[in-house]
A and B are shown apart, each in its own frame.
Chain A
Amino acid sequence: MNEEWKALILDHYKHPRFYGPKEDFAFASEQHNRTCGDHVKVFASLEGKFSQWSFVGAGCSLCLASASLMMELLQNQTKDAVEAIRDENRSMWDGGIDFETASRPLWQALDGLRQYPVRSRCVKLAWQALDEILVSWNSLDISIA
């Protein structure tokens, strides 16, 4: 990983954005990494179409920085936009993103990690929580519709 992205990861690890539990959450999901005991809980609340996000957790720099970077991406997004971000993240792991030209700093920062499959679990933890929240969000929309 290059120094610039390393600094970005360390910054988010030491100063996680949108950190803290939410009282008024509409959705929450807690995920554990069996190999090291790390855990992340993601909260989402809704204001009309727009979503607000926060998280709490304990883990290594990649685990918590990944969650913090995810928070920045998701804040105030609609469900469609959140799903698009989730899909972009998925295609990052499938090799579907060209990292040289990737627009989001997160994808670029995480590029170097693909060679460490063990640590990919650290990075994915918050994103697994997002997957679960989207399932709930979609089923809520279906029941309202």
Chain B
Amino acid sequence: MSIAPEGVDPVKALFPIFKSHPELIYLDSNATSQKPEIVVEAIDRYYRSENANVHRGIYQLSENATRTFEESRIRIAKYINAETQEIIFTRGTTEAINLVANSAGQAFLRPGDEIVVTVAEHHSNIVPWQMAAERFGVTVKYIPLRADRRLDLDAARTLINSKTRIVSLAHVSNVLGVIHPIRDIIKMAKAVGALTMIDGAQGLPHLPVDVKELDCDFYAFSGHKVFGPTGIGVLYGRKTLLQAMPPYQGGGDMIEKVTLHGSTWNELPSKFEAGTPHIEGVIGLGAAIDFLKSMPMDSLLNHDRHLGTYLTHRLKEEFPRVQIMVEPGDDWVGTVTMAHPNIHPHDLAAVCDGENIAIRAGHHCAQPLMEILGVTATARVSPSLYNDESDIDAFLAALRKAEKLFLS
């Protein structure tokens, strides 16, 4: 790890983007995280000195690339306490959920079954199930939120019943930053014999994950939200289930034998990894997991939560017009989503951009949730380890500037 030059925040010094843009205040980590030097280096090294296809070549370079690639899988498996064969590489969380909706759908869904998700999901954990519902003749049910915008567990107890076949929900809401009580939901699902899928896109960046301890059947996450590259993600699936599911896509690598009359499938995890994989993505993700392992997860969560709490308190004190979507709590990762009655989120984001501050404005791929919040769009500040209180202060100054511009 690099040593920070004098006057440079030691954490920021680990991220080359802040060397290229020293003035950047990046508060949009729920959209994507910045990448530490060791991830950039791993990808650079692969292309400069290790590039070859994997699982194919009978030559040293390819064998080395295969080894580095598969070592990443082992490190990722260990990090979330899975078996190596249970780690399927996908393009991201979205593809992982689509894989489960299709393949587990084909294997396990029967007409009349029910799928239960929550109203607070990202579109990627709603739309694949709606498509599966159409295809397999099943129904999607939604767990509502309470007035405090936490999941309504009483409603969940009724919704998850003997008809339920799959329960799928986010570990952490991308809009609200609320950590869902997934252990309770998984228990409810187990009690009725339903499968469980956890969308961990916002979970892994903030929380330690042990899939065996959680006892979920599937857990998905994206590389780019955990300091890794875009275009790569992971699906953890319980081995017995993955074995019983048909492949998601056909092609090279995923077959055992192909004849003109039909084909047989390769072992796990290859059965679900058709075609040349995103090799540098996997290698970069392996480096990102090493980076994550080097971070104390408790203090990471406390850091993000502290910044979110600090922002929430100052908003309440200094900007009484701003509507804040959730109250901070122990079940929260520090994401602050807000609406201003007189400033459109796009305008706020544009004013922030003028001050080199990156925030997110829009519906955050969660239109059903926006409807429940009673807004069409919001502004979202999502801090990460490279932010500090001075970044929050800068955002508040930009908000004050926007008020001056739009309220005068």
Provide the bound-state CA to CA distance between A59 and B406, in Å.
13
Inter-subunit contact A59/B344 (CB<8 Å): yes
Minimum CB–CB distance from A29 to chain B (whole Å) comes to 20
Among A17-25, A33-41, A44-52, the one that faces the other chain is: A33-41
Count contacts on A: residues with CB < 8 A to the other chain.
15
Please, which residues of chain B bring their CB within 8 A of the CB of A61? 344, 346-347, 406
> Are B346 and A37 in contact (CB-based, < 8 A)?
no
> Could you tell me the distance in whole angstroms from the C-beta of B52 to the nearest C-beta in chain A?
37
Kindly provide the distance from the CB of A34 to the nearest chain B CB, expressed in whole angstroms. Answer: 9
**Chain A residues in 8 Å Cβ range of B350:** 116, 119
Q: Give bound CA distance, A36 to B376, whole Å.
A: 6
User: B376: which A residues are within 8 A, CB to CB?
Assistant: 36-38, 58
Q: How far apart are the CA atoms of A35 and B361 in the complex, in Å?
A: 9
Contact A62/B346 with A36-B377, A37-B376, A37-B377 known, Cβ cut-off 8 Å:
yes
**Residues of B in contact with A, size category:** 10 to 19
On chain B, the residues within 8 Å of A116 by CB distance are 350
How far is B377's CA from A10's CA once the two chains are assembled, in angstroms?
20
The reply to whether A10 and B345 contact each other, CB–CB distance below 8 Å, is: no
Say yes or no for A122: interface residue by CB 8 A criterion: yes
Assuming the A-B contacts A60-B347, A119-B346, A122-B346, are A37 and B406 also in contact, with contact meaning beta carbons closer than 8 angstroms in the complex? Answer: no
B363–A36 CB distance below 8 A? yes
Q: B3 contacts the other chain (Cβ, under 8 Å)?
A: no
Are the C-beta atoms of A35 and B362 separated by less than 8 Å? yes
A68 vs chain B, min Cβ distance (A): 15
Query: Which residues of B, 356-386, contact A by the 8 Å Cβ criterion?
Result: 361-363, 370, 376-377
* Distance A62 CA – B348 CA, assembled complex (angstroms): 12
- Indicate if the CB atoms of A10 and B405 lie closer than 8 Å: yes
A10-B405, A61-B406 known; A37-B363 Cβ under 8 A: yes
Taking a contact as CB atoms under 8 Å apart, the answer to whether A35 and B344 are in contact is no
A36 near B405 with CB under 8 A, answer no
Bound CA–CA A62/B349 (angstroms) = 13
Most chain B beta-carbon contacts within 10 A, residue among A35, A59, A60, A116: A60
State A119–B353 Cα separation when bound (angstroms).
Answer: 13
Proximity bits, B72-88, A CB within 8 Å = 1, else 0 = 00000000000000000
Once the chains bind, are A37 and B370 in contact (CB under 8 Å)? yes
Tell me the smallest distance from the CB of A135 to a CB of chain B, in Å. 27
Least CB distance from B126 to A in Å reads 15
Interface residues of B in 258-290 (CB under 8 A from A): none
Cα A94 to Cα B350 with chains together (Å): 23
B365 → A minimal CB distance (Å): 10
| A118 → B minimal CB distance (Å) | 8
Question: Nearest Cβ in chain B — how far from A28, in angstroms?
Answer: 21
CA distance A36 to B345 in the complex (A): 9
Bound CA–CA A122/B362 (angstroms): 12
A60, B346: Cβ atoms under 8 Å? yes
Interfacial chain A residues near B361, Cβ < 8 Å? 36
Q: Which chain A residues border B345 with CB–CB below 8 Å?
A: 36, 60
For B346, list chain A residues within 8 Å (CB): 36, 60-62, 119, 122
Closest to B377 in A: A36
Shortest distance between the CB of B141 and any CB in chain A (Å):
25
The closest CB in chain B to the CB of A62 belongs to: B346
Q: Which residues of B contact A60 (CB under 8 A)?
A: 344-347
- Give chain A residues whose Cβ lies under 8 Å from the Cβ of B347: 60-62
Closest Cβ neighbor of B345 among chain A residues: A36
> A86-145: which residues lie under 8 A (CB-CB) from chain B?
116, 119, 122
- Least distance between B31 CB and chain A CB atoms (Å): 13
A122 nearest CB neighbor, chain B only = B346
Which residues of chain B have C-beta atoms less than 8 A from A36's C-beta? 344-346, 361-363, 376-377
Residue of A nearest to B365 (CB): A35
Min distance, Cβ A79 to any Cβ of chain B, angstroms: 33
Q: Which residues of B contact A62 (CB under 8 A)?
A: 346-347
Please give me the residue from chain B that is nearest to A37 by CB atom.
B376
The interface residues of chain B lying within 8 Å CB-to-CB of A119 are: 346, 350
Can you list 10 A-B contacts (CB < 8 A)?
A35-B363, A36-B361, A36-B363, A37-B370, A37-B376, A37-B377, A38-B344, A58-B376, A60-B347, A119-B350
A interface residues, Cβ below 8 angstroms from B = 10, 13-14, 35-38, 58-62, 116, 119, 122
Beyond A37-B363, A60-B346, 5 additional contacts (C-beta under 8 Å) are A36-B362, A37-B376, A60-B347, A61-B346, A62-B347
Seen from chain B, the residues whose Cβ lies within 8 Å of a Cβ on chain A are: 344-347, 350, 361-363, 370, 376-377, 405-406
A-B CB proximity, top 3 nearest: A37-B376, A60-B344, A60-B346
